[in-house]
Amino acid sequence: MTADPLATSPTRPGSLPTGLRFELKGRIGAGNHGVVFRAHDRQLQRDVAIKRFSYFLADDPRAMRRITREVAMLARVSHPHVVTVHDLVHMADGDGEVIPHLVMELVEGTSLRDLLALHGPSPRSVLVVRGVLEGLAACHRADILHLDIKPANVLVTEAGRVKIVDFGIARAASDSTATVAGSPHYMAPEQYEGRADERSDVYSVGCLLHECLTGKPPFEGTMASQLMAHRHHPRPDPRALAPGVSPALAAVVMRAMAIDPAHRYASVDAMLDALTHLDAAPRTAPPTSAAVDTAPATDAVRVVDDSGPADAGSVRPVEAWVPTTPVVTRWSKLTTLTTGLVLSAFVVALLPGLVWLTTSVPPGSGYRPDAMQDANAAGWWFLAVTLTMLLLLRRGGFLRDLSGPPVGEPRRSGVVGPHTRTGLRAATRASLLGSSPMLFPWYVVAVAAAVAASGGSWPSDVYGSGWSLAWVLLPLVAVLLVLRAVTRIRPRLGALFMAVVYLGLAAVAGALFVAYPAMVG
C-alpha cells in the first residue's frame, strides 16, 4: 500500500515542524468549505495560500478521505489555468484544534466576481472563459470534475492570466453530507439529482459566460425557483440584455446551457473549439501589452490575446475589461446612489430651514400663531422633513432614479447625471410640499388682504378660538375643492356628478366664509 503523497509526514531531518513551518499573515476570503489565508512557508521561503477546512468537513472522516483523494489527483495536474496544490497538512487552528489545511499556490489577482462588479459585463470576457475551459480540459483529462464553476472561483492574475480554484471540494463535501454540490445560479439540472459528468461543468461555464456578457446570471430568485428555472424554463438569450452579443456567441451560450446533457457540447474541449473560432471580441487597435492594476475601484485588467499559436504547455494573457466606452457597473451604481442620497439629504435639510426664515417676515404680530414662535423651530423642521420622507416613499422610484441607469449601459461623464437630477428634482418638490405648513402665516396675510380689499371685517385675534381658525381655512378648502372638481371631470355620468358635488361644497365653504363675520358681529 503506497503512502498518501499529500498526508503530513513525520518531520524529516533539517525540516521544520508543520506548526512552525507556515506563518499565517492574513485572511484572504471564506466560503462554504473553509477559510483561505495568505501564509509564508518558512522552509521553502515562499508565500502560499492555505485553506483551513470548516469543522463540519474536518470532523467527517468520509469527507476528508474523499477530499484527500481529490487533492492528491489535483496535485498531479500542472496547468497554467489551474491553481497548483502543494500539500495537505494538519496543524492547529486559532483554538488549538488540529485540523486539515490545504497548501496551495498564492494567486495574486482579482476574482471574476469582483471584476464584474467593478467594470461590468464585456464581450472581451470570452477570452477569460476560454482560459477557464482550457484549465477544465486539463483536469477532466485527469478525471477531476469541478462542479462549482462560478465568478468567485475564477481569478485573473496580475499577469492577466486565468486561474481556477476550489477544484473537487464541492463534490467531495456533498458526497458525505447529503447536500448538492455547486451554487444554484450555475448548477446543471442533473446536479440537483446527484448526477454529474464533464457536461455539468460545461453547463456551469455556459452560465458563467452568460453573466460575463450580460452582468446577470441566467436565472435569479430563491433556490427553489432557480431549480425549476434551470430544469424547465427556456434558455435565456444573452442578446435580450446585451444586444451587442453576436448571434454565434449567443448560440454557444444557449447550447452550453441546454437542459438535456446530450444537447450540450460533449466536452469542454468542444466548447473551447467553438469559442476559439468565434470573432467574439473584435479589436479596435493592434494588440499591445499593458500593466495590470487590481486595486479596487481603480483597476483595469490587462489586455492582450496574441492571436498566434501558443507553445505547448504555455498560456497567453487574456484581453479583459478595457471597454471602449465606460459602462455602468454595480460599483458605479453604488457610488452614484451614495452621491444622490447625500445631495438629496442636503436639499431636504436646507429647504425647511429657509422656509422657516420667511415666517418672521409677515408684518404685524397677529398673523403668526404662538405655536410658530422661534422656540418651536426644531419641531416644525422635523415635521417638514418627516412629511418630505413620506412623500418620497409614496412616490416610488426615487432610489431607482438616484442610482442611475442599469448595469451595462453607457456611463455618462460627470458626478450628477440625468437620473440623479431627476431624483434631486423630486426631493426638492417633496421638500417644498413638506415645508408648506410653515407658510401658514403668509396664507393668513393673503386672506386678510383679500378681506380688507372687499371691505370686510377682520377678527382682532384670528387664533383666539377654533371657530376663527376654521373660518380662516375656509378659502383654502374652497380652492382645493374647486381644483379637485376641475381635475376629475371626465365624460362620464359618475365623474360629472362628483365634480358637481365638489363645486357645490366649494360654494358652501365660500358662503360660510362671507357670512361668518356678520354672524359673529
Active-site residues, by number, are: 148
What does the alpha-carbon distance between residue 41 and residue 101 come to, in Å, rounded to a whole number? 13
Amino acid at 33: H
**Is 11 in contact with 21 (CB distance < 8 Å)?**
no
Question: What would the grid cell of residue 328 be?
Answer: 455602468
CB 42 within 8 A of CB 16: yes
How far is the C-alpha of 296 from the C-alpha of 372, rounded, in Å? 51
| CB distance 260 to 199 below 8 Å | no
Paired sense of beta strands 46-53 and 85-92, if any: unpaired
- Pair 53, 102: CB distance under 8 Å: yes
d(CA 263, CA 89) in angstroms, rounded, equals 42
**Under 8 Å CB-to-CB from 112, ≥6 apart: which residues?**
125, 128, 151, 152, 154, 155, 156, 208, 212
CA distance 180 to 224: 13
The total of other beta-carbon atoms located within 10 Å of residue 126's CB is 25
What's the gap between Cα 54 and its chain centre? Answer: 28
* Phi, psi (deg, nearest 5) at residue 276: -65, -35
Is 487 in a helix, a strand, or coil? helix
Residues 108, 292 contacting (CB under 8 angstroms): no
Paired residues of 109 in beta bridges: 157
Count the residues in the chain.
521
**Cβ partners under 8 Å of residue 216, min gap 6:** 210, 241, 407
CB distance 340 to 423 below 8 Å: yes
Residue 86 and residue 71: Cα distance in Å, rounded? Answer: 9
- The rounded distance, in Å, linking the Cα atoms of 444 and 438 is 12
User: How far is residue 234's CA from residue 404's CA, in Å, rounded to a whole number?
Assistant: 30
CB 103 within 8 A of CB 48: yes
Report the distance separating Cα 64 and Cα 10, nearest Å: 20
For cell 405655536, name the residue: 371
